[in-house]
Amino acid sequence: MSCEHYEDVITQAVIGEKVPDFTMEAYDPCDCGFCEVNFEEIRKAGKWLVLFFYPADFTFVCPTELADLADKHAALEKLGCEVVSVSTDTKFVHLAWKNDERLLANVKYKMAADPTGEVSDFFGVYDHATGLALRGTFVINPDGVLVSSEVNFYNVGRNAEELLRKIEANVYLKDHPAEACPAKWTPGAKTLTPSEKLVGKVYESLNEE
């Protein structure tokens, strides 16, 4: 992980802080070949980055999660997101799993390899007892700032619909920094504008005509 300029400051990802540049080898299902995930290039392209860590290829809950994510991939791309799945398997295992597991038929995002666990460890999902990554989802905005994190244990799968909703909210707030999105917010719904007038009056604000 390329953190030369940050190594004395950042040792682990922190919400609200910039993430240092890093690279990972990957398998690209669209090209059916190997490539590199380069965070610096993604950031300079002005994209959001979704890192979707999971324990291992050829397991059980993992293909259901990756298939669910694949169903939302096009919608996430329209919002300006680069989607990357990550496990501690190698790029060669990713290729084999993609070809064998029918649930992965629609996966078109890059499948990154973190065999040393370095990137997983930076994001706080590396399990040193097993050498695997927990189920972690991280969203980094175009400025390189970590704005969202979710970590589940091995036995609970995630919901890509909720990930999409959170990305929609974060994209909206990037352009409307004075506002805040309440629970279950979806595009077009009312937002909140924090001020002294809103204290104790959230109900009225959300329900006014």
Delimit the domains of the chain by residue range: 23-159
For the packed helices 61-78 and 160-175, what is the interaxial angle rounded to 10 degrees?
30
List, for residues 26-84, the tens digit of each pLDDT value: 999 999 999 999 999 999 999 999 999 999 999 999 999 999 999 999 999 999 999 99
Q: Is 181 a catalytic residue?
A: no
Q: CATH fold of 23-159, please?
A: Glutaredoxin (3.40.30)
Over the stretch 114-137, which tens digit does the pLDDT of each residue have?
999 999 999 999 999 999 999 999
Instruction: List Cβ neighbours of 160 (8 Å cut-off, separation of 6 or more).
Output: 65, 68, 69, 71, 72
Phi, psi dihedrals of residue 82, rounded to the nearest 5°: -95, 125
**From 30, 35, 62, 81, the catalytic residue:** 62
Q: For residue range 133-183, what is the model confidence (pLDDT) as tens digits? A: 999 999 999 999 999 999 999 999 999 999 999 999 999 999 999 999 999
